[in-house]
Amino acid sequence: MATPPNRIALVFDCDDTLAQDTTVWLLRELGANPDEIFKEAGGMIRNGWDPPLAYLSIILRESRDTGKLTAFKRPKLAELAKNSKNIFYPGADNLFERLRSAVQTEKRYRDLGIQVSFYIITGGIEEFVRETQVGKTADEVWGSSFDYDEAGKPIAIKNAVSFTEKSRYLFCINKGVTSSARTTPYIVNCSEPEREHRAVPFSNMIYIGDGPSDIPCMSIVTQYKGKVIGILSKKTKRVWELGEGRRVDLMIPADYRDGELGYLNLRRVVLEVAESIHRKWEYLRPPTPEYGFEGGNNGV
């Protein structure tokens, strides 16, 4: 019998989950008016545009020499990312490290080699999020992105992450193709063994998000017995859209500091998943004298 996979994956949305809206912050820092840009994008969406493609197209247009976003260049995004700590919610800067440590300090989990990986899937600008302090601590960051010329100016939209596109990356994690999927995108569609024996079964997955763009991912993780956590948004109060008890297992505030409810509940769920992996291993462990069993005769 195959041994149970021992990796836990925490998959985070970014905007309004780990941080304030990163694209809004970025546009302001670059001297543009986010309200104007998203108002125009809203009109495009009503005309049939996919939401990420709408706002990315406007950024691409306005980054040209005569536009309002001529400062939008890849080196500038990296520079701004270094000074973006204040847009992340309290405790997010070292959240991944603390959750990984919470698992590793338990000897029975450490003995089984249980590992914790962290992923960010965002409709925001990947080149910015990846270079932030939080982005650098993640195992992988997927987001909307541009292709750039030698001077760092965007010349084309490379990737647009919509709500359905987010679910693609869940299967990359599930099948263990998080790196190769960038250059060989169809690899995620290859046939794999039954779900519970893939690199990261959905039952070992925890998805954390705040709103409608996260619902497809939440539905998939819930369907296959993973854990889903919704973020309480003071700004939009979108709790009803997530449907606690139906789409999410629980709702938490976006405060990840030690001792705060957001962190305590997130840590509890991570340890619950670690314990479920431990139980699966214990079920497969051969009988030993330590437990009063030897040679498969139940001690009789």
Residue 297: per-residue pLDDT: 41
Residue 261 CA to residue 255 CA, distance in Å, equals 7
Residue 247: per-residue pLDDT: 66
Residue tagged 């999927």 (tokens): 181
Residue 257 CA to residue 149 CA, distance in Å, equals 40
- Domain span at 223: 7-20+88-291
Phi-psi region of 298 (alpha: psi -120 to 50; beta: other; left: phi over 0): left
The answer as to whether 83 is a domain residue is no
The answer as to whether 98 is a domain residue is yes
Number of domains in the chain: 1
How many residues can be counted in the chain?
Answer: 300
- Residue 271: half-sphere exposure toward Cβ, Cα within 13 Å: 16
The answer as to whether 46 is a domain residue is no
Quick one: tokens of 282?
A: 């214990």
| CATH number of the domain where residue 208 is located | 3.40.50.1000
Quick one: tokens of 261?
A: 């409810």
Average pLDDT, consecutive stretches of 10 residues, N- to C-terminus, the chain (300 residues): 78 96 96 96 97 97 91 96 94 96 95 95 96 96 96 96 92 86 75 70 95 90 94 63 65 95 97 93 62 41
Instruction: Find how far residue 34's CA is from the centre of its chain.
Output: 24
Quick one: tokens of 114?
A: 């249980």
Q: How far is CA 119 from CA 55, 111, 195, 206, 217, in A?
A: 24, 24, 20, 10, 13
The answer as to whether 34 is a domain residue is no
Residue 3: per-residue pLDDT: 63
The answer as to whether 63 is a domain residue is no
The answer as to whether 120 is a domain residue is yes
Q: Which amino acid is present at 146?
A: F
The answer as to whether 127 is a domain residue is yes
The answer as to whether 30 is a domain residue is no
pTM of the model: 0.89
